[in-house]
RNA sequence: GCCGAGGUGACAGAGCGGCUAAUGUGACGGACUGCAGAUCCGUUUCCUGGGGGUUCGACUCCCUCCCUCGGCACCA
């Protein structure tokens, strides 16, 4: 089955064919590191992490690149406000980024280049654009001349230049030849950090870093370029203009953009005060709950972020988790054979999973296939008479498919020392129950609960889980 | 104004030119149980925004209208 992806450039589903055989060159716009990441970042990076995982699952060798914008007005502002060095600010929030994303199971990219590590290369790109007359110098600033690449405008946004200017908030700048031109290089104001350049002390504009660094690491043509929907215009169209003016080759073959998060049906924004950092959310919900919540909606759709929906995800996640842990804890025949029904159920889930993911990464469908598997597994355990082979096959399927979504990656709670101790205590408890000494049995259960271990009497024996 | 996404059951949210329209949550009944929890079995609800068209047949394709959300030079 062929993978189809929605390409923003064509507005249609296209069969995915990377340019370099089995290798996929993938670039996703990273954050400007002036603050903690919010749930919108989580949405985007979880989406592209999942896309990357699925491509690898399909057998592609993915080279994944994500930048950090570590020089920017907002970082400078933040540094002034807190009396810190801008480099210190960006380093701090880069660390925070890795910590937060790590908790959400977002794997690191192969490369995380930073703008400040690539100033010479950026200057070289800008100089080339000036040489090729796609850019002009104006009093220490360098601007890209949009009319020199006019046909790129609208390639992603599908809008005509005239139409855009009607509702636009473009700030006039008398140094620009045309108000739609954008800065490649900005002259440093007094007191601001900057780098020496042919045009004097300055720093890169926003868009140029992505063009320069992606080309540097991944070559002139990317297979996948991703980012939030808001970046379609102007950021990504500017990238195309710069890159194609510079290299003369197609910049990216497939453009993927994730949808936004709303909060209680309203746009999330700092001014509305409905802004949540990943940290705030993770203080209330386990990472796997948040990840399940995010992958339960297609990456291009808008997601509404509301407590009722997170609570629902928590319940749903518990159902998956219970099924998974139950497999790890069930008593069975010890026979390594896999039953026919089990093999069939796993194959059905995998087929549904792959068909969904092949259809522009329909993670919702993939999640449904995981629940199919959980339902089968629960029913099988309920009936009793499972074999070790059944359990191992089902656990393997959960790990295989769950792994693509970044779920169910730790072992079921079963075989470690804690598990042994819980089983020992439960034996004592069962003896007490057998002689109807409920005071003792409940005491064991209650004390375990105080320690964060919940024990339950299942039809197939003990079930337990660690619950904070 | 322009561009994009979408309108499916109590809620969230998939799919498909004709099959009982997924999956999760909720509600109800039953099983299991000392209690609790988990689990199982069953039930519950829309025939898919309004109108028109194509078709033997459309929720699914086309047109149109209405509505919602988002973007339009800071933004994932």
The domains found in chain A, sorted by start residue, are 4-258 (3.40.50.620), 278-405 (1.10.730.10), 417-466 (no CATH)
Nucleotide nearest to A227 in CA–C1' terms: B76
- List the nucleotides on chain B closer than 7 A to a protein CB: 1-6, 11-16, 22-26, 32-41, 69-76
Written as six digits, the tokens of A159 are 């809008």
pLDDT of residue A52: 97
In this complex, the nucleotide whose C1' atom is nearest to the CA atom of residue A12 is B4
In the structure, how far is the CA atom of residue A280 from the C1' atom of nucleotide B2, in angstroms?
Answer: 37
Please state, in angstroms and as integers, the Cα–Cα distance from residue A231 to each residue in A251, A326, A346, A462, following that order: 16, 44, 39, 52
Strands (E) across A270-329 are located at 303-305
Predicted local confidence at residue A153, as pLDDT: 87
Q: How far is the CA of A265 from the C1' of B7 (A)?
A: 15
For residue A360, which nucleotide's C1' is closest to its Cα? Answer: B14
Output the distance from A331 CA to B24 C1' rounded to whole Å: 28
Q: Quick one: chain A helix, strand, coil %, rounded to 5?
A: 50, 15, 35
Question: In angstroms, how far is B61 C1' from A38 CA?
Answer: 40
pLDDT of residue A371: 96
**For residue A381, what are the CA distances in angstroms to A214, A227, A268, A329?**
50, 43, 44, 10
- A170 Ramachandran zone, left/alpha/beta (phi>0; psi -120 to 50): beta
A365: the nucleotide nearest its CA (via C1') is B14
Per-residue pLDDT of chain A (468 residues; tens, 9 = 90+): 689 999 999 888 889 999 999 999 999 999 999 999 999 999 999 999 999 999 999 999 999 999 999 999 899 999 999 999 999 999 999 999 999 999 999 999 999 999 999 999 999 999 999 999 999 999 899 999 998 998 888 899 888 877 766 544 455 567 888 888 899 999 998 888 899 999 999 999 989 999 999 999 999 999 999 999 989 988 999 999 999 999 999 999 999 999 999 888 788 877 777 889 999 999 999 999 999 999 999 999 999 999 999 999 999 999 999 999 889 888 778 888 999 999 999 999 999 999 999 999 999 999 999 999 999 999 999 888 889 999 999 999 999 999 999 999 887 765 566 777 888 888 889 889 889 999 999 999 999 888 888 888 876 678 888 876
pLDDT at residue A362 in the model: 94
Report yes or no: A222 and A235 within 8 Å, Cβ to Cβ: no
ipTM (interface predicted TM): 0.92
d(CA A174, C1' B20) / Å: 68
Question: Protein A18 CA to nucleic acid B60 C1', in Å?
Answer: 31
Distance of alpha carbon A388 from its chain centroid, rounded? 35
């Amino acid at each position: 089955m062929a993978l189809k992806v929605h390409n923003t450039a064509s507005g249609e589903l296209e069969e995915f064919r990377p340019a370099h055989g089995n290798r996929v060159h993938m670039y996703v716009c990273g954050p400007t590191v002036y603050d903690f990441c919010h749930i919108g970042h989580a949405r985007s990076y979880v989406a592209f992490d999942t896309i990357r995982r699925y491509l690898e699952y399909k057998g592609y060798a993915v080279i994944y690149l994500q930048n950090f914008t570590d020089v920017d007005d907002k970082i400078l502002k933040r540094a002034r406000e807190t009396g810190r060095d801008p480099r210190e600010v960006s380093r701090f929030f880069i660390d925070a980024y890795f910590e937060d994303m790590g908790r959400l199971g977002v794997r690191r990219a192969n490369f995380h280049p930073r703008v400040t590590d690539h100033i010479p290369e950026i200057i070289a790109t800008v100089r080339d654009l000036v040489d090729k007359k796609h850019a002009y110098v104006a009093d220490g600033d360098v601007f890209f001349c949009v009319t020199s690449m006019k046909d790129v405008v609208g390639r992603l946004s599908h809008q005509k230049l005239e139409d855009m200017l009607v509702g636009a908030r473009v700030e006039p700048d008398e140094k620009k030849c045309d108000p739609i031109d954008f800065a490649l290089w900005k002259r440093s104001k007094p007191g601001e950090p900057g780098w020496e350049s042919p045009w004097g002390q300055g720093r890169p504009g926003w868009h140029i870093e992505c063009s320069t660094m992606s080309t540097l690491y991944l070559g002139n043509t990317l297979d996948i370029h991703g980012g939030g929907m808001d970046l379609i215009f102007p950021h990504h169209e500017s990238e195309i203009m710069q890159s194609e003016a510079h290299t003369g080759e197609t910049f990216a073959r497939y453009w993927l953009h994730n949808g936004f998060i709303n909060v209680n049906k309203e746009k999330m924004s700092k001014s509305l005060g409905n802004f949540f950092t990943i940290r705030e959310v993770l203080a209330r919900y386990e990472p796997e709950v948040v990840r399940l919540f995010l992958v339960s909606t297609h990456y291009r759709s808008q997601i509404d972020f509301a407590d009722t929906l997170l609570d629902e995800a928590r319940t749903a996640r518990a159902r998956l988790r219970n099924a998974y842990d139950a497999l790890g804890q069930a008593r069975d025949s010890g026979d390594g054979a896999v039953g026919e029904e089990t093999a069939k159920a796993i194959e059905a889930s995998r087929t549904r999973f792959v068909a969904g993911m092949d259809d522009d990464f329909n993670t919702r469908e993939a999640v449904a296939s995981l629940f199919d598997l959980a339902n089968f597994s629960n029913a099988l355990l309920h009936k009793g008479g499972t074999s070790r082979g059944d359990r191992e096959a089902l656990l393997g399927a959960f790990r295989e498919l769950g792994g693509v979504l970044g779920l169910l990656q730790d072992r079921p709670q079963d075989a470690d020392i804690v598990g042994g101790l819980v089983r020992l205590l439960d034996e004592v408890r069962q003896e007490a129950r057998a002689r109807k000494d409920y005071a003792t049995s409940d005491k064991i259960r209650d004390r375990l609960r105080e320690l964060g271990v919940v024990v339950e009497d299942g039809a197939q024996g003990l079930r337990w889980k660690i619950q904070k």
